[in-house]
Every structure is written in C-alpha cells, then in structure tokens.
Amino acid sequence: MKTLLLIGALTLGAITTQAQDYKQPLTKAWNAFDALPMEASHDSKVQLANKMELIAKKWDKDWAPHFYVALTKTILSYDEKDVAKHDAILDDAEKELGDAIKGLTKNTDETYVLAAMIANSRMAADPMSRWPKYGKIFTDNLQSAKEINASNPRMYYLKGVSTYFTPAAYGGGKKNALPYFEKADGFFATEKGDDIDKPYWGKKANTYFFGECKKDDKEVNKN
Amino acid sequence: MRKRLLFLFFAPLLTASFSASADFRISGKVIDLKDKPVKGASVYLDNTIDGGTTDSLGQFSFTTEEKGSQTIVCTESAHETTGLPIMIAGDISDLVLHMKDNLHNLEAVTITAGSFASNDRTKTVLNPIDVVTTAGSNGDVVKAMQMLPGTQQTGTDNGLLIRGGDVSEAAIIVDETIVQSAFVSGPPGLATRSRFSPFQFKGVSFSSGGYSAKYSQALSGVLDLNTNDMPDKSNVNLGVNLSGVYASGTKRWKKSSFDAGGNYFNLSPLLAVSSVSNGYKFYTVPMGGGANARYVWTPNKDGILKATFSTTYNKSGINIPNPTLGITDTTNTFNTTDAQVKYITEDKYYFGTISYRQSFKNKYLLYTAASFSYDDLNNVFDRLNLTQKEYRNQFRIEVKRTFTNKLSLLLGTDLQNYGVKKDFRFTQQFDETQEAAYAEMEWNPIYWLALKPGIRYEHSNLLNQDKVAPRFSTAIKTGNHSQASLAGGIFYQNANNIYYLSGFKPGMQSAIHYIANWQWSKNDRTLRLEGYYKNYQDLAREYGMGYSANRFRTNVIANYVDNTGYGYAQGLELFWRDKKSWKNTDYWISYSYIDTKRMYENFTASATPTFVAAHNLSVVGKHFIDKWHTNISATYSFASGYPYFDPAKATAAGFLSDRTPAFHNTAITAAYLHSFGKWFTVFYVSVDNVLNTKNVFGYRYYNNEKIAVTPGFYRTVFFGVNASLSQFSKDEL
C-alpha cells in the first residue's frame, strides 16, 4: 500500500512538473526525433515535429520549444520536392525562429546557425537560380555565429554539409568537406548533450558524413 | 484470494484515475476542399499538448484527458489553419476537418505584363549565370536580351530595339538612374558591347512596355539593372581571354567592402581568328583599358550604401563603308564620294553612382541615388575631327510607405540634367534639365488580384513642356499556376538628340501602350503569351529634304521639324522555358511577331522602319554534363527580312517596301569548370555565327550599285579562362 501511494505520489508529481515546464516533454520529443534512423519514414519525423509544435504553443513565451520546432521543420523541409511547399515549410520555420529570438531577446550563435541552415535549405530547393542570394545569407549567418562562439560544432558541420553537396567542379565534394566535419567532430566531443536549453543537435549526422568522407579518402588513397 | 483483494484495492484507485484523467480517443480525417486527404497535418486540442498527425489517408487519432467544450485545431504548412469546436464527453470518431490550400495564395499574384521581372521566385528572368551561359550573348547583358520576346536582332545598332522602337527609345538603367552612352563607342553601323559585366548585377529586369511610373523618357521600354549588394566574402578574380586580361579584388570587412579592378584589351588576336565582314578594315586595332572601384557599407541591418566609379579608355581606327553613300540630297556639304572612309575613335568614359537604401521597421523605405556619366569622344571622320562630349547628371529620392503587406504607396522625385556638345566642322550643343515627380500604389486587395496604378508628372526646361503620364497595371490569378495581366499607360520622350543638336526643338513624343499577358508557370516550366498595341503620337517629323538612308547621321538638315509624326505597333509574342523535362537541361523558345508602321523623322510615307523584322525567333538550349563538369549551350536566332530603301521606289507605296533575306545565326559555347586547390576556374570557348552566314541588315545604293549593310563580323571565335579565389585559409567559414 505504501508503495502504491508512493507510486501515486510520484505519478502526480510527474504530471505537475510536466504541466509547469517544457523541458521534460521537449527533451523527450527531440531525443526521439534525433534517435530516428536515417531511413525512418518522413511520417514518423513529422509526428514528432508536430508534437514539438504543440509544446511550443503551450509554452509560447519560452524560446527553446520554438527553436526546436524551427530546427525540425528545417530538417524536414529537405525532404520536400515541391518548391512552393518547401518554401511554405521554411516560412513556418522562420516564424518559429523569430519567436525563439524574441524569447531570448537577442540572437545567439545557435540562432545564427539555424538561420544559416534555413538559407541552405532555401537554396537546396532550386540551387541553380538561388545560390547567389542564399549562399550569401548562409555564409553571413555562419560568420555571425563564429563571432559569438568559434567553437560551435554545428557551424562547421553545416559548412561541411554544404561543401559535401557542392559539385567538385565548384570547389565542393567529399575531400574538401572532410576538414569541416573533422573540426566539428572535435567540438561535438566536448558537448555533454544533456540539457535541452543548450542545443546539441547535429552530432549523429556529423559522425555519418565524417565517416563517408573518410571512406572516400581511403578509396582514393588505395587507387 | 490475495489476487482478488489486491484487485479490490486497486479498483477504486483505477476508477479514480479514470474519472480524473480518463483518456478519450479523438479520431477522424483531414481533407482539403477537393476532398483529397491532407498528410502530415498536426491535429490537436487548442491550449493542450494532446494531438496527433495525419497519415497518408488524412486520418488521425490521439487520446486526451481533456473533456467538455474544446477546440480542435488543424495546422499544416501548405494549408490555412482550421479549427472546430467540439464537446468531449467520450470517444469521438469520424471527425472531418476541412483545410484550405494556401500554397498558391502565399505567392500573391505578380504583374507580368510587359516585364520579365527578377526575383528568386520567378523563373523567366535571365540571371548573370544565364547571361554568360547563353550562346550568342557573348557575355553581354544587353545582347542576351535579344533572346527574349519583344526585341529585334541587331548587328549594326547599339542598344535595344523593342517592339518597333529604335535604340534611342529604350533606356538602360542602373540602380534606378539612366546611363548615358551605355555602349563602348565605335564607328557608325557597328554594334559594340555594353559597358557592363553581368556579374555586377544581382537582378536584371527587362520591360518591353507598360513600365513603372518611376521611369520615363523611353517610348519603348527599359532595361533595369540592380547592382550587387555586399559581396559574400573577400576574393580575387583573374582572367585572360582572346581579347585581353583583367584582374579584380574584393576586400570584405564586417560592415563594408571595397572592390577594385582593371582591364586591358586588344582585339588583334580576336580579329585574327574571326571572319571580318568585307566592309570593315581595322588599321588601328581596337584597344584600351578600364578601371573601376566600388564601396559598399551597411551601417545597420536595414540600410545599404553603394558607391561606384568606373572609367574606360578605348581607341580604334577603321575603314568603314561610307555612311553618306546613297544620300540623294545635295545640300549636305559634307558628301565624300569614296566607298570607304576612315573612322578613328578615341573614347574616354567616366561613370559614377552613389545610392542609399534604408528601411524603417518595414513601414518606410527610403531610397536615394545620384549618378553622373561623362563621355568624351575624339573621333576623326575622313580627315575631319569629330569631337563629342555627352554628359548626364541625375538625382532621385523616393519614399515607400507600406501600410500593410497588401498595400503600399511610393512617392518620389527625380531630376536629370543631360546634354551633348559636338564639334564637327562647327559647334552644336544642347542642354536639357527635367524635373519629375511620381506616385505609385501597389495594392493586393485579395490574393488573386494585384493593382498598380501610377502617375508621373514631368517638366522639360529645354522644351518648356509639362506632361502628366498615367500608368496602370493589374494581374489576376486564373488558376493555381496561371495568371493574366494587363498593363498600359502614356509614355513621353524627347525627340532624338540630333534634332536638338541641329537647332530644332520638336516637343515631346508620346506612345500609349496596351499590353495583355497570360502566363502559366509550374515546376520550372513557363509559358507566356503576350499581345500588345501601341499608338505613337507627336513623333518628330522633318520637312523639306526627303528620306536619307543614313541611319547614323549626326546632323539633321531640314526646312523645319515638328511633331506631326505618328505610327502604331502591334504584335504577339510567345515564350516557353523548360528546366524540368530533362535533367541538367534548360531551354527556351522565344517568338515575336510585330506589325508596325511609322511616319516620322524623314520618312516620306508611313512605313515599317529598317530595323524591324516582322518575325523573330530564338531557340536557346543549355545542358550541364555532370561527369565532365562542362556546360554547353547553343542558340539559333532567326529574323525575317528587314526593310530597306530602294531609291527607284521612292513613291509612297514603294517606300521601304523591299525586304532583305532572312537573318540566321547559330552560336555555341562550352564552359569547363575545375577547381585547382582553392582556385575555382572556368575555361570557356564560344563561336558566334558558326555557319559564317553572310547576314544582311539592309542595302545602300550608290551610282546604281547595291551595297549590302553587314554586321562588322561574321563568324567569331572567342576563348579564355577565369580564375577566382575566395577562400584564403583552411577553416575559414
């Protein structure tokens, strides 16, 4: 009986903390999103993104939920092939990022990094006609992030991804991307990744791309 | 027994938890207005975190502890958010929520009649990359416009021939100020390049009529070029090609940047490998150089200052077909009878602009710009000195007030002073100052409708005339991917400069434009159909001397000149561009039909001018070969024959009634991209007029001899390499 009461009290306690703070549900939703394997269905990602959106609506004044909604929407936008729809998702992401900045009262390295990622996704929707405009916004935002915190791994990761997908003829490709992933990897290693208020996203993807680049490097060496 | 007891113990607890937080299941589906399921929508109870996501059939299901009166809300990026009040007293199933597609509302209708607008969401524009990768454009932004509908092919004129207008009737605008002498100077009858590099511009917007109240003094249309904002990063750019060498550098600081560059050109190697048309013989090969500097400063997030200065020098000496041949009047005291005359050009050109743009909380936008152009020509025409100084100074200031994102009002004023001073046997000059004020409203009362009324007042000091020019354009969505636009207005322009230089003072000429356009655009495919009618009034007309076939005359001799000229132009144009059907392939087809006649200048009867071909066609194709890092492009251009003057047919019916053979041109280019370490290089080669077609733009008569008017070059070959470096250290972002 005592045990039961204890369990009851704990459950109630959990419910009340849940009702007061976004941290627990947001952490749970983000970690679930981040843990999805690369081949996970788009639908399962959308589900978790939508969950985060509800958390952001409930704790509207807090910056973190809006930040994660902006982040997940941006990640999801890359899957969208229809340019107009792609833009519509990013319009939402930009709005959420704006709400996050409002909550923070100012830009941080993380908001600049995310703004860069949004620009990168805009460009990805139609690279040939968009790179002059969004390539610049991408670079400028990463530069602003670097001025605040030069050891933010995510900006090197983003630069790496952007280089990775740029054709080799334009100075991109795996070989040129490798140093960025390597640098990001070093900084990722120093992150604890246990506090949702200190964004730690990107490690998994960085490890994947770093591996791909190294694989290619070896192949080249073999030849 | 124990089990039972335990159950009994539990029972009240369970019911209690049910009554306190009984989970009800809410399910249903979300469909759009066409009854199609909406996938990935977030469906939730307002002010709670209870919700679910729709699957590919639009179905959702979630549980909640809430009860009583609630609102179920449904959101999705491509649809408008919807809500529905529900009463929860138990499970709810089979809810149906309707969502309205807002995807195509996001992109509010834009006015396209008469213009090829430029922004990242419209696709029909030519951006700098398009310009340089289009075969036949020779990397010249103005030349590239000849592959769009509404323009004529030309190899003999400097400028744009738009919808029946001559080159003086189209204005070239940089950062909202008109550029004087936008082309490298050369001998008469030989088209030269514009003075700009396509990479100077972030936006190129071409209007073949019905343009904004911001601009005037162009009866036909405007080419509106917007220079780049702050450069991305510091870089160095070097190049060498068949006609010269160039180098430039950009230093970027946090809030400002400085660029400087220089070039030297000499056409000797180019001439050696090209096919120069018979008429033209260079005895001093065109050569020269230029320097330019640019400063950009962003004092704050919403403000940008740009200042540029450039100067060029070039000279050439050429034997050209005598442009006065075939002139029947005898009062022209300068009438050399040689078939060829010497023409030496020496040109110094200076151009500077400064502009500042600042927005205030997205409510006000202030823009101000000033510019000057000064062109100092020292030519020798058959042993006679011909010096000419052309200048233009301009100032513009405007404020745009954005009331809502659907309504804005622009108010502005501009001031222009320009003139020409020419010395050729005697001095001729004029100086004109024009003051103007304009207002333009942009109103999208509803997403499928855009209205843009405008009005412009202008005053000419030289002519002492005041004109009020109303403008109007509108666009209506006709479907998710299509829209119809209308544009029109009155456009005024002073007569050709040579009248004022020659001491005549014809008043302003006018053109009324009526343009209707329909455009369909989906997934990188665009179809445009446009029809127009233009009515010309008050065109300058000369009396007393008869027609002169010399289109490059520098002086007007007449008993008197007035504004009794008139004319019309009407046509149909088609444009189709497709970047989608084949991977890495972009092609477009541009076709224009025009019917125009004018009674103006020294025409003796109403006729189609000599630079207008009724049918113009351009087919442009580009393909990028991934594996070879190579971009290839080919262009075929066609124009039906041009009218020419046969002195034997000087009657009203016979005047300009003959046509030259059709014009054909095939051009190809290839560009190979390669990175050498941090250096990004492009090797390119282009061949214009591959088939060496002997195109003819008209004929001249002299002593009953019929002489073809040809472009300066037939087949030309051009190649070079460009290298740029923008990454200076390894981990630079």
- CB pair distance less than 8 Å for A54 and B727: no
- CB pair distance less than 8 Å for B42 and A53: yes
Evaluate if residue B407 carries a pLDDT over 70: yes
Neighbours of A28 (CB within 10 A): 15
The pLDDT value recorded for residue B457 is 97
**Same domain flag for B181 and B64:** no
Please state the three-class secondary structure of B370-384 as a single string. EEEEEEEEEEEECCE
The one-letter code for the residue type at B403 is F
Closest residue in B to A137 (Cα–Cα): B232
Average pLDDT over residues B124-150: 81
The pLDDT value recorded for residue B331 is 42
**Same domain flag for B139 and B282:** yes
Evaluate if residue B123 carries a pLDDT over 70: no
Average pLDDT over residues B95-109: 76
SS3 B530: strand
Q: Which residues of B touch A46 (CB under 8 A)?
A: 40, 53
- CB pair distance less than 8 Å for A179 and B55: no
Cβ pair B412, B458 in contact under 8 A: no
SS3 B14: helix
Write out the two tokens for B47: 């002010």
Average pLDDT over residues B49-73: 90
CATH number (domain holding residue B60):
2.60.40.1120
Distance between CA A108 and CA A100 in Å, rounded? 10
**Same domain flag for B197 and B71:** no
Higher pLDDT, B331 or B719: B719
The pLDDT value recorded for residue B105 is 58
- CB pair distance less than 8 Å for A54 and B51: yes
Closest residue in A to B39 (Cα–Cα): A43
Number of independent structural domains in chain B: 2
Residue B188 placed within a domain:
yes
Evaluate if residue B589 carries a pLDDT over 80: yes
Distance between CA B447 and CA B80 in Å, rounded? 13
Cβ pair B178, B393 in contact under 8 A: no
Domain termination site, one of B77, B101, B125: B101
Number of independent structural domains in chain A: 1
- Half-sphere exposure (Cβ direction) of B675: Cα atoms closer than 13 Å: 15
Higher pLDDT, B275 or B370: B370
Residue A180 placed within a domain:
yes
The one-letter code for the residue type at B319 is N
**Same domain flag for B567 and B687:** yes
- The band of B326, judged by pLDDT with boundaries at 50, 70 and 90, is low
Which residue range forms the structural domain that includes residue A43?
22-222
The alpha-carbon gap from A75 to the nearest alpha carbon of chain B, in Å, equals 14
Q: Which residues of A touch B106 (CB under 8 A)?
A: 84, 87-88, 91
DSSP letters for B405-452:
TTEEEEEEEEEEEEEEEEEESEEEEEEEEEEEEEEEEEEEEETTEEEE
Q: Which of residues 113-132 of A touch B (CB under 8 A)?
A: 126, 128-130, 132
Nearest to B389 by CA among B181, B588, B679: B181
**Same domain flag for B251 and B380:** yes
Evaluate if residue B19 carries a pLDDT over 80: no
Q: For the stretch B484-510, what's the b/e string if a residue is b when 16 or more beta carbons lie within 10 angstroms of its beta carbon?
A: bbbbbbbbbbbbbbbbbbbebebbbbb
Distance between CA B415 and CA B397 in Å, rounded? 9
Tell me if the pTM is above 0.90: no
Distance between CA B432 and CA B496 in Å, rounded? 13
Distance between CA B1 and CA A31 in Å, rounded? 44
Nearest to B613 by CA among B690, B698, B516, B528: B698
**Same domain flag for B121 and B69:** no
Distance between CA B25 and CA B52 in Å, rounded? 11
Interchain contact A61–B (C-beta under 8 A): no
Query: Among all chains, which residue has been given the structure tokens 């007569």?
Result: B495
Residues B699-711: pLDDT tens digits? 888 777 788 888 8
Cα B707 from chain centre:
36
SS3 B151: strand
Residues B434-485: pLDDT tens digits? 999 999 999 988 888 999 999 999 999 999 999 999 999 999 988 878 889 9
Higher pLDDT, B555 or B719: B719
Which positions ≥6 away from B623 have C-beta within 8 Å? B582, B584, B585, B586, B631, B632, B633
Residues B592-651: pLDDT tens digits? 999 999 999 999 999 999 999 999 999 999 998 888 889 999 999 999 999 999 888 878
Of B109-118, B217-226, B452-461, which gets the smallest average pLDDT?
Answer: B109-118
Residues B495-507: pLDDT tens digits? 999 999 999 999 9
- Please give the C-alpha separations between residue A66 and each of A54, A137, A158, A196, B19, in angstroms, as whole numbers: 10, 21, 20, 12, 33
Cβ pair B138, B155 in contact under 8 A: no
The pLDDT value recorded for residue B199 is 80
Which positions ≥6 away from A21 have C-beta within 8 Å? none
Interchain contact A154–B (C-beta under 8 A): no
Q: Which residues of A touch B102 (CB under 8 A)?
A: 88
Evaluate if residue B158 carries a pLDDT over 90: no
CATH number (domain holding residue A51):
1.25.40
The one-letter code for the residue type at B655 is F
- CB pair distance less than 8 Å for B104 and A58: no
**Same domain flag for B239 and B279:** yes
Of B170-179, B304-313, B451-460, B702-711, which gets the smallest average pLDDT?
Answer: B702-711
β partners of residue B408: B402, B442
Of A151-160, B182-191, B412-421, which gets the smallest average pLDDT?
Answer: B182-191
From the number of C-beta atoms within 10 Å of its C-beta (0-12, 13-18, 19+), residue B466 rates as exposed
- H-type helices in B411-562, by residue range? 497-501
Nearest to B120 by CA among A132, A165, A93, A118: A132
Distance between CA A89 and CA A76 in Å, rounded? 8
Residue A57 placed within a domain:
yes
**Same domain flag for B53 and B133:** no
Query: Among all chains, which residue has been given the structure tokens 């329909």?
Result: B518
Evaluate if residue B418 carries a pLDDT over 80: yes
Chain A to chain B Cβ contacts (< 8 Å): 110
Write out the two tokens for B148: 């769009």
**Same domain flag for B525 and B655:** yes
From the number of C-beta atoms within 10 Å of its C-beta (0-12, 13-18, 19+), residue B593 rates as middle
Closest residue in A to B65 (Cα–Cα): A15
Evaluate if residue B388 carries a pLDDT over 90: yes
Domain termination site, one of B101, B126, B146: B101
The pLDDT value recorded for residue B416 is 95
The pLDDT value recorded for residue B106 is 56
**Same domain flag for B507 and B552:** yes
How do strand B615-625 and strand B407-424 relate by DSSP bridges?
unpaired
> DSSP letter at A11?
H
Higher pLDDT, A18 or B383: B383
Residue B4 placed within a domain:
no
Residue B83 placed within a domain:
yes
Cβ pair B163, B209 in contact under 8 A: yes
Cα B347 from chain centre:
27
Cβ pair B219, B347 in contact under 8 A: no
Residue A103 placed within a domain:
yes
Q: What is the pLDDT along chain A (223 residues), one digit of tens a residue?
A: 445 444 444 444 444 444 568 888 999 999 999 988 878 888 888 989 999 999 998 898 999 999 999 999 999 999 988 888 899 999 999 999 999 999 999 999 999 999 999 999 999 988 877 877 788 889 889 989 999 999 999 999 999 999 998 887 777 888 889 999 999 999 999 988 888 889 999 999 999 999 999 886 554 444 3
A-interface mutation test, from B61, B74, B77, B254, most A Cβ less than 10 A away: B77
- The band of B731, judged by pLDDT with boundaries at 50, 70 and 90, is low
Cβ pair B256, B295 in contact under 8 A: yes
Residue B731 placed within a domain:
no
Residue B473 placed within a domain:
yes
Residue B122 placed within a domain:
yes
Average pLDDT over residues B284-311: 93
Domain termination site, one of B71, B101, B131: B101
The one-letter code for the residue type at B155 is G
- The band of B279, judged by pLDDT with boundaries at 50, 70 and 90, is low
Q: Which of residues 63-102 of A touch B (CB under 8 A)?
A: 73, 82-85, 87-89, 91-92
Evaluate if residue B120 carries a pLDDT over 50: no
Residue B108 placed within a domain:
no
Q: Which of residues 3-42 of A touch B (CB under 8 A)?
A: 4, 8, 25, 42
Interchain contact A181–B (C-beta under 8 A): no
- Please give the C-alpha separations between residue B180 and each of A3, B137, B480, B701, in angstroms, as whole numbers: 91, 22, 42, 33
Evaluate if residue B13 carries a pLDDT over 70: no
Distance between CA B708 and CA B548 in Å, rounded? 16
Evaluate if residue B383 carries a pLDDT over 70: yes
Give percent of chain B with pLDDT exceeding 70: 91
Q: Which residues of B touch A140 (CB under 8 A)?
A: 232
What is the rounded radius of gyration, in angstroms, for the C-alpha atoms of chain B? 32
Cβ pair B39, A50 in contact under 8 A: no
SS3 A140: helix
Cβ pair B134, B111 in contact under 8 A: no
- CB pair distance less than 8 Å for A47 and B629: no
Interchain contact A215–B (C-beta under 8 A): no
Residue A202 placed within a domain:
yes
Which positions ≥6 away from A219 have C-beta within 8 Å? none
Which residue range forms the structural domain that includes residue B145?
115-725
B-interface mutation test, from A46, A120, A147, most B Cβ less than 10 A away: A46
The alpha-carbon gap from A136 to the nearest alpha carbon of chain B, in Å, equals 5
Residue A106 placed within a domain:
yes
Phi, psi of B592 (to 5 degrees): -130, 135
Closest residue in B to A7 (Cα–Cα): B13
Residue A9 placed within a domain:
no
The pLDDT value recorded for residue A194 is 83
**If residue B476 lies in a helix (H) or strand (E), which one and from where to where?**
strand B465-477
Tell me the CA end-to-end span of chain B in Å, nearest whole number.
73
**Same domain flag for B79 and B134:** no
- CB pair distance less than 8 Å for B731 and A54: no
In chain A, DSSP finds a helix count (H) and a strand count (E) of 10, 0
**Same domain flag for B79 and B154:** no
Residue B572 placed within a domain:
yes
β partners of residue B282: B318
Please state the three-class secondary structure of A43-61 as a single string. HHHHHHHHHHHHHHHHCCC
Which positions ≥6 away from B348 have C-beta within 8 Å? B311, B312, B313, B375, B376
- Half-sphere exposure (Cβ direction) of A84: Cα atoms closer than 13 Å: 18
- CB pair distance less than 8 Å for B48 and A25: no
DSSP letters for B295-343:
EEE-SSTTEEEEEEEEEEEEEEEEEEE-TTTT---S--S-----SEEEE
